[in-house]
Amino acid sequence: MKVKIAKDLIFRTPRFSYTSELADCWDELKSAISISSDAFYQTIKDVHADEIETLEAKVLFTIWKYFNRAKFRSTPYGTFAGFSILPGAINSLEHGIIVEEKQVVHEFIDWPYKNQLKFSLSDCLANNCLLFTNSSFYFTPTSIRYIACSDGLFELAEIDNNEFVEQILKACTRPIRVNDLISLLDVSTDGQANLFVLLEDMLALQLLLSDNDPNIIGEDYFGRVGIKPSIEIPKYLIAERNVISGGLDEKMFSAIPGLINLMRHILPIDGRDALKQFVNKFRKKFEQKEVPLSMALDPEMGIGYDELEQAGQDDDFIAQFYGKQNKKTEELNDKLKQNFERFIRAESFHTDRVIQLDKLRIQLSDKATVIPNSFSMLMSISDDLICVDQTGGSTANALSGRFTIANDEVYQHCKRIGKIEQEVNSDVLFFDVAYMVETNVDNINRRKLVYDHQLSILNFDTSESPLTLDDIMLSVQGSEVILRSRKLNKRIVPRMASAYNYARSDLSVFRLLCDLQHQGIQTNLTFFLEHLYPDLPYYPRVQYQNIVLSHQKWQVRKADLSAMNVNDLRTYLNKLGVSDYFKAGLSDQTLCFNKNTNLDLTAFLQHVLKQDKVYLEEVLIPQESTVIDEKDNPYLAQFILNIYHDEQIYSGFSKANSEITPVKEFFPPGKEWLYFEIYCHQQRSDMLLSGPIAHFLDAYKSLIKSWFFIRYNENGYHLRLRILLNDENDGQILTSSFSDYLEEYLSAGLISDLQLRTYRRETQRYGTNLIEEIERHFSSDSHFVLSLFETNPDAINKYKLCSDLVEKIQAKALFNDKVFTEVIKMMSDSFNEEHHLEASDFKKMNTQYQIYRKTEYINLTDNQLIAFNSFADSFINILKICNPERMVQLFSDLLHMHVNRLFNKDQRTHEMVVYYFLLKEVQRRNAMKNFKPF
């Protein structure tokens, strides 16, 4: 995966040069303060530059903080910092950038002002407004549910089912004029008054939105509704500096591809726990079904977006691998720490040493993580060093999107990034998510649409063809959540062109969509030494060639500083080895201090007294700044370096042909299928199957057409026994008799519960055209497994039976040998990855494989052989009649269910071993086929 650096460069500069003096900038600073804090501005508006030092200490400290921000912090806020864009900046000719000292200030109406706008709903309708559905609606048997928002809080609202309301909602999934809606619904002139009353109610209830409602993406809302800026209306400002000339030498960035490759091999994917839990819950409730997104998130009919934990234990060879598939990122970070401890130890950290990652022989993982098609490196330049603040994101547009409303070049740059992502992932469609709820921070969410599609959540939509929530279907394929647009019949993937911290939101659908941006890809490529070695008194600088990944940091405590004066503090900092310039604070809320300036140290003493301990981070002030203005004033610029690659990372969706044959999907108790759940200890389950359950099935075989069992662990370990009756009228007799067969085990507590349940066929997983064949196959599988209880083969012999089965399948040439080997390898790799196998684990597996190879095969009895052949023939027949596109998936599904029945515990770990041994066996058989003696 070869990464490239975008030639266009967006960067940000503080309002003032870092060499500026307060007195020289006083009037401009006051102007900036007047915009951000009118209350404080009223305190200082009449103060002249020569009067600043006469102010009381608290006011002076506040002024110092504002001026410090305006010199050292480049995060745009009002006029305290501004952005610039330089097309073709990364080249081989330039070595610096010249900008204009004067800022260009783009003025927009402040977003909170929207709350002061009042529109008459009746006038809106009378003026033939556009209407747009709140597409979060979905149906229960008796009601319509949808998401509404009141005073910044989301709620799940509900109204009674109404066929005409449903018609209106479906007619307005694209913005439509009122008059066009009247025509579409074929409403008579006499009925229009009643329609207007209904539409007014739907607007008031937020079931409908009008074009007077705000949109956060696309055409500017205030301009769209005819509100023009004026002196009286509050403003939202974005400052920009025009570039006069220049660029950056591309050679400076030559180490970045190597760094990204290293990070891909050593940093674990930061998986979202909520998403993992959602996948687990979805599988258990919906299995492989595809359901409407809104229904999936419904707290009653669906699963919401909550956490779910699972646990268990074992004590044999398989136990060595148990739980590995549930490892958390923290444990993976421990592996990273162990990797580093071979070369660096925390106790050896010294201020005179720089850790050079490129000089260490770091052990790389066998498989690099997948990275987004575009992401950003937020960094600064200090002479010949690149100083990284953060690297990652699901798209490079996240940091740049907010500037699209202020500059067309930025807008076109972001569209090009979106086009790169889309063109290399042609099987999916990317969409932006329009979301607003926090009025005071939503200014940063305002942006133009840089992708071809957008989904608006309780927003009006100005895009050409809006995506709507009611159109989105959700399924889980493997461990991946898949979204599909029904009308486009394409997999869709969310991408937010905004740096908004979505963790602030409590709206489940928005949180899920934002988490899906990070699914299966490494979106955090930032390296922080303090994450590996927390709470140390000192951290050295870490570099990769000329790239500073982590700066020096010193821990200081309030208790050590509280009695110090400025001179004592300076002596203390010098003794620690603190750099001349250092910063303190979190994220982009930092202050920069010069230890050789008394005013700065006085300010630092006030700052540090707010917390028990604080880390001081070195700030590298360049000898020659990369960015200067036309007067040669230097600036501490922060660059948004956009990085991309052109390899496909997303595939489309695969969906079984389940439309061919209509079949009944639900069988309540009393119908032709009986479905029992028998709750017991996992080690008791085989005894129950071979004892009372087998005896019951034999005694009533004349009444039973077919049966099969499955082992399950949801809400406690249990057996699921499903029985197809010859006559549903016999259901009561069989239910009563089955209870009699298990009564003594219930009385003894060996069975904790016996339940009669509704049988829901897995038609989404297997298809309606195959489900009855699948049920018959499951019966063959169950008969064979039950026959094995006669001799109780051990795990190794069960692995051999799986190998025999696969050999029979391979002999039928249903798969090309090469393809079949690739399938087995793919499954083996997937299970190995799920269990996070290490080198020592593979060594154990190989040792066990040698034991497996040498173990003498225990011959099957005649009955077992008949059952095995019947089972294998059934397996092969299913593969023959299924859609060829489904064959690989069906093979893995059926083998998965066979392993489920073969072993009474830790089935996924046994399945890992089965595939590991199968891969070796298949490779060995292929080698024998291809062997040509001389």
Going by C-alpha positions, the residue among 386, 391, 392, 393 that lies closest to residue 542 is 386
Tokens of 367: 């498989």
Residue 234 predicted with pLDDT over 80:
yes
Give the strand pairing for 96-99 and 627-629: parallel
pLDDT one-digit tens code per residue, 141-193:
889 999 999 888 888 999 999 999 999 999 999 999 999 999 999 999 999 99
pLDDT for the residue 478 = 77
Q: How confident is the model at residue 366 (pLDDT cuts 50, 70, 90)?
A: confident
- Backbone dihedral region for residue 831 (phi beyond 0: left; psi -120 to 50: alpha; all else: beta): alpha
Buried b (16+ CB within 10 A) or exposed e, 873-892: ebbbebbeebeeebbbbbbb
**Domain extents in the chain:** 118-211, 397-516, 656-765, 770-934
Q: Mean pLDDT throughout 274-282?
A: 89
Q: Is 96 helix (H, G, I), strand (E, B) or coil?
A: strand
- pLDDT-wise least confident of 116-120, 540-544, 563-567, 854-858: 854-858
Dihedral of alpha carbons 28, 33, 34, 39, sign: negative
Cα-only R_g, the chain: 33
pTM of the full structure: 0.78
737 pLDDT above the threshold of 80: yes
Out of 90-99, 317-326, 665-674, 750-759, least confident range: 317-326
How far apart (Å, rounded) are the C-alpha atoms in residues 455 and 461? 8
Could you read off the pLDDT of 832-870 as tens digits, one per residue?
988 888 888 999 999 999 999 999 888 999 999 999 999
Max distance between CA atoms of the chain, in angstroms, equals: 105
Please give the residue that has the higher pLDDT: either 261 or 281.
Answer: 261
pLDDT at 230: 92
Sorting pLDDT into bands at 50, 70 and 90, what band is 288?
confident
Check residue 329 and give its pLDDT.
44
Q: Which helix (H) or strand (E) holds 392?
A: strand 385-392
Count of C-beta atoms within a 10 Å radius of residue 186: 7
Which residue type sits at 100?
A: E
Full strand arrangement of the beta sheet holding 704-712: 704-712, 718-725, 673-680, 751-756
The helix or strand, by DSSP H or E, that contains position 78, with its residue range, turns out to be strand 78-86
**Residue range 778-823, pLDDT digits in tens:** 999 999 999 999 999 999 999 999 999 999 998 998 888 888 899 9
Would you say residue 528 has pLDDT above 80? yes
Please answer whether residues 53 and 595 qualify as being in contact, where contact means their C-beta atoms are separated by less than 8 angstroms. no
- pLDDT band with cut points at 50, 70 and 90 for residue 727: very high
Decide which of 930 and 379 is more confident.
379
pLDDT for residue 311 is more than 80: no
Beta partners for 160? 143
Q: Which residue type sits at 611?
A: Q
- Residue 308 pLDDT > 60: no
Q: Band of the pLDDT at 320, cuts 50, 70, 90? A: low
Question: 817-834 and 907-930 helices cross at what angle (nearest 10)?
Answer: 150
What are the tens digits of pLDDT across the range 235-246?
A: 999 999 999 999
Q: How confident is the model over 394-409, as a mean pLDDT? A: 96
827 vs 366, higher pLDDT? 827
Q: Return the pLDDT at 347.
A: 66
pLDDT over 50 (residue 328): no
Spatial CA neighbour of 618 closest among 640, 634, 594: 594
Beta bridge partners of 584: 591
Q: Would you list the DSSP string of 249-301? A: EGGGGTTHHHHHHHHHHHSPP---HHHHHHHHHHHHHHTT--EEHHHHT-TTT
Task: Inform me whether the pLDDT recorded for 655 exceeds 60.
Answer: no
Whether 93 shows a pLDDT value over 50: the answer reads: yes
pLDDT at 885 over 90: no
Please report the pLDDT score of residue 336 as a whole number: 67
Angle between helices 839-854 and 795-811 (to 10 degrees): 80
Please report which confidence band the pLDDT of residue 462 belongs to, taking 50, 70 and 90 as the band edges: very high
Residue 933 has what pLDDT?
55
Strand pairing class (104-109; 96-99) = unpaired
- Answer whether residue 335 shows pLDDT above 70: no
125: buried, middle or exposed (CB in 10 Å: 19+, 13-18, 0-12)?
A: buried
Closest CA to 286 of 302, 297, 275: 302
Residue 922: pLDDT band (50, 70, 90) is confident
**CA–CA gap between residue 799 and residue 659 (Å, rounded):** 36
Is residue 233 over pLDDT 80? yes
Burial class (CB in 10 A: 0-12, 13-18, 19+), 564: middle
Q: Please name the residues in contact with 779: beta carbons below 8 A apart, sequence gap of 6 or more.
A: 706, 707, 708
- Percentage of the chain surpassing pLDDT 70? 94
Nearest-5° Cα angle at 121, 116 to 123: 105
Q: Average per-residue pLDDT in the chain?
A: 91
What kind and span of H or E run contains 155? strand 153-160
Give the per-residue pLDDT at 313: 37
Tell me the three-class secondary structure of 639-687, residue by residue. Answer: EEEEEECCCCCCCCCCCCCCCCCCCCCEECCCCCEEEEEEEECHHHHHH
Residues 6+ apart with CB under 8 A from 760: 665, 666, 667
* Residue 61: alpha-carbon gap to chain centroid: 42
pLDDT tens-place string over residues 480-507: 999 999 999 999 999 999 988 888 888 9
**CB proximity list for 928: less than 8 A, separation 6 or greater:** none
- CA dist 753 and 695 (Å) reads 20
- The CATH class that applies to domain 656-765 reads alpha beta
What is the average pLDDT across 616-636?
A: 97
pLDDT value at residue 332: 53
CA angle, residues 271, 137, 766, in degrees to nearest 5: 60
**Apex CA 901: angle with CA 896 and CA 905, to 5°?**
90
Contact 174, 195 (CB under 8 A): no
The 8-class DSSP code of residue 693 comes to I
Q: Is the pLDDT of residue 710 over 80?
A: yes
Mean pLDDT of 727-755: 95
Judging by DSSP bridges, how do beta strands 541-544 and 547-550 pair with one another? antiparallel
For residue 251, give every residue at least 6 positions away whose Cβ sits within 8 Å of its Cβ, in sequence order, or none: 92
Helix axes 57-72, 22-36, angle to 10 degrees: 90
Tokens, residue 804: 């025999």
